[in-house]
Chain A
Amino acid sequence: DARVTQTPRHKVTEMGQEVTMRCQPILGHNTVFWYRQTMMQGLELLAYFRNRAPLDDSGMPKDRFSAEMPDATLATLKIQPSEPRDSAVYFCASGAEWTEAFFGQGTRLTVV
């Protein structure tokens, strides 16, 4: 059963530390999304890749966040330095062009 895999599932870190979240998209999917979910803001798009190229990262704070796809089987989202306001659930999703995306289980990040 194909699924999007995210690691780690939970992360607690101290303010100022670097955080790296990883995502393995479903094999054959050419689009990858990173979303952040909070109670206040709901689901926010952070980054969107198509064929490993970043197409939209307008929702991502550029000074501390970065997203990459080093290869077709791995997408990463990094925060450096992390801040308490970054505490949220981060979701990765993958899909084929113009159709639905499939979500991972998310990484729950707590920055203290």
Chain B
Amino acid sequence: AQSVAQPEDQVNVAEGNPLTVKCTYSVSGNPYLFWYVQYPNRGLQFLLKYITGDNLVKGSYGFEAEFNKSQTSFHLKKPSALVSDSALYFCAVRDSGYSTLTFGKGTMLLVSP
């Protein structure tokens, strides 16, 4: 079975500082990895994905994520946080042999002015 772990319920960072939101995964085949963001009372918005190729992937709004196969991680990063980045972030995985999309529990990112 596939699974995703987001070890932090909340991440606090000051505006202008770099941010990292952690994600680890478990799959039996090759992972397809995704990050989504959810603002209050809204649906989930797709940010970025790793399917194959470069381990560092870039996405919307200046976000990027690094795929690390040996550590089975896919951490979300941004060099300089904005207050408007404050939201709930979800990591998700699809197993190449089982295409259901499984989500982590989410990490609340709070960026203070």
Contacts and interface: CB of A to CB of B under 8 A. Distances in A.
A10 B34 CA distance: 28
A20 B96 CA distance: 32
Contacts of B96: 98
A99 B49 contact: yes
A95 B100 CA distance: 11
B101 A93 contact: yes
Contacts of B22: none
B46 A100 contact: yes
A57 to B, nearest CB: 11
Main secondary structure of the interface of A (DSSP, over half): strand
A61 B56 CA distance: 39
B28 interface: no
A99 B32 contact: yes
B99 A31 contact: yes
Interface string B32-67: 101010000011111001010000000000000000
A75 to B, nearest CB: 15
Interface of A: 4, 31, 33, 35, 42-43, 45, 48, 50, 55-56, 91, 93, 95, 97-106
